[in-house]
Chains A and B, each alone.
Chain A
């Protein structure tokens, strides 16, 4: 694997390979000594143009457990107008000898620009770009769904026939986009639930059913219900009238949690707005996978870095 930029172009075999390697990584994380020597001497740069403590420390933990050297580069608000350009930053990292760059950026497509510009030779991992994609989040979500469903029998399996419902601000969500493509690739059936203002204007090409009614979606008995964080600044832009109304119509409260089948898992990429899109009851219930998602995030990111930096490659340099 040369780069991980999105899940849209990730083939089923590649995705399963990442998930299976992540299983191996998860096994090593149950040992007393969690550190592996695999990436000793490799340098991983966390290039974060946006604040995201959770994602950054997850990548940092993953790299360190593989014995890579980690450089954290926080370059908030960089653009031609505000200071150093992406090109200059990238070339600086190249000069420092980065082997992999994990990039979080507010502009959709910035990781692809970085990977295709010729500015660097390092592998690029997209850790979230604007409102485009967040592929490692989708991979850890798929890993979590698979693990919850199949347990120790997970390896080699896809998500065929499983029903996953994603609720919230689809329009601005990179998590939703990455999940739609990956879940579809893995054979799951995807339903999106959102206020009509927060669905992209044309989703005719998306392999997903669109609903506006959360109760209807719950009545179909999804295997996984994924609640997305709602950004309160969306209210100012008239996407929905008030926090209270959003919570009432699209929040997972105690009543809806009760209506959800006991076999359904409740997911959230974090950080949660408790009491807004998800009630404390739901977040803390045994059906919640929130903390497993965090744990699995490290394993999945270990797998991605491993396949990027130490994985077997054929002549094309592909996975």
Chain B
């Protein structure tokens, strides 16, 4: 009786040890595979650096998730412009910059919103694209200093209004009415989105 109990206990102990060995080996292989895959997935970002990459975002929320920051949009939104933005692009990884392209409903000139989400950071230059600044003039948005510039973007003339809002660099660009740019700029706030 005692011998059979001892043999049974030994068998159970052996089975338990084998089970533990099996699970430990499995955990090691699974973990190593997952880490290797994750490293391979992260490698392109490490090589290129997220800063150099411009990516499209499907929605404002998507852009905010990628940037890890809220995107500010103007409170005043002309009814001639279409919402949601026709194109949303982000660059610079976490706390990088965002570009919202707002198309006009009537086929007229649209408005582009650029902003850096990191404090004291400029808007990522790869979002502003290849533009030539022809002339810059100092101006003000209430008590906030701003700059209005005549620019050439891909050979087309446009106006850019740039200023700092709560430490963030903001740029509004349009080939249309400059007053509209000022009205939008004055209305920009943190809780925006429509």
Bound together: no
A: which residues have CB within 8 A of B?
none
